[in-house]
Amino acid sequence: MAHETHTHVRSQTEYEYIRRQRSKEMRGQLTSFAIMIFLTLIAFTAVAADFSPYLITPIILLLAAVQVVLQLYGFMHMSNKGHGMVAFFMFSGMFVAFITILALVTIVWW
């Protein structure tokens, strides 16, 4: 049962496997961190360079979407096993929110 503690001694192979996995994950996190910094730089540059708002707005929105995905999968472990339900509910929530906003924008405020 839950309150009984089991001690499990890792074998050498297991230990190395976990170590490899962890360093791989760390590499992934660092990469996505670098990409996110880079994307933010692009966004700032676009604004600083005084491009037309019609260019800047879509670029920033696009970059924001990419950042959200990187954040979820790179940092918040959504790519790991056992996150299917979480992903399903998050995307359904986003879908409902999107439909709502789309409808309000098109039929109330347009």
Partner 1 sequence: MSSIAQKKGFGAAMWDYLTTVDHKKIAHLYLASGGIFFLIGGIEAMLIRIQLMKAGNDFLSAGTYNEVLTMHGTTMIFLAAMPILLAFMNAIMPLQIGARDVAFPFLNSLGFWLFFFGGVFLNLSWFLGGAPDAGWTNYASLAIASEGHGIDFYALGLTISGFGTLISGINFLVTIINMRAPGMTYMRMPLFTWTTFVASALILLAFPPLTVGVFFMVFDRMFGANFFDVTMGGNTIIWEHLFWIFGHPEVYILILPAFGIFSEIFAIFSRKRLFGYTALVFATILIGFYGFMVWAHHMFTVGLGPTANAVFALATMIIAVPTGVKIFNWLLTIWGGSISFTTPMMYAIGFIPSFVAGGVTGVMQAIAPLDYQLHDSYFIVAHFHYVIVGGVVLAILAATHLYWPKMFGTMLSEKLGKWTFWLFFIGFHLTFFIQHFLGLMGMPRRVYTFGADQGWDLFNAISSVGAVFMAAGVIILLVNVVMTSIKNERVGNDPWGDGRTLEWAIASPPPFYNFAQTPLVRGLDTFWIEKMEGNKEGMVYAEPLEEIHMPNGSFVPVVMSFGLFVASFGALYNMDGDKGWTIPVIIIGLAITFGSMLFRSLKDDLGFHISKEELMRDVKGGKSDGLK
Q: Which residues form the interface with partner 1 (CB under 8 A)?
A: 1-3, 85, 89, 92-93, 96, 99-100, 103-104, 106-109
Shortest separation between residue 1's beta carbon and partner 1, angstroms: 5
CB burial of residue 7 (10 Å; 0-12, 13-18, 19+): exposed
Shortest separation between residue 96's beta carbon and partner 1, angstroms: 5
**Token code pair at residue 96:** 């409902």
- Gyration radius of the chain's alpha carbons: 21
Q: Which is nearer to partner 1, 47 or 105 (CB)?
A: 105
Please check whether residue 46 is in contact with residue 59, taking contact to mean a CB–CB distance below 8 angstroms: yes
Shortest separation between residue 81's beta carbon and partner 1, angstroms: 15
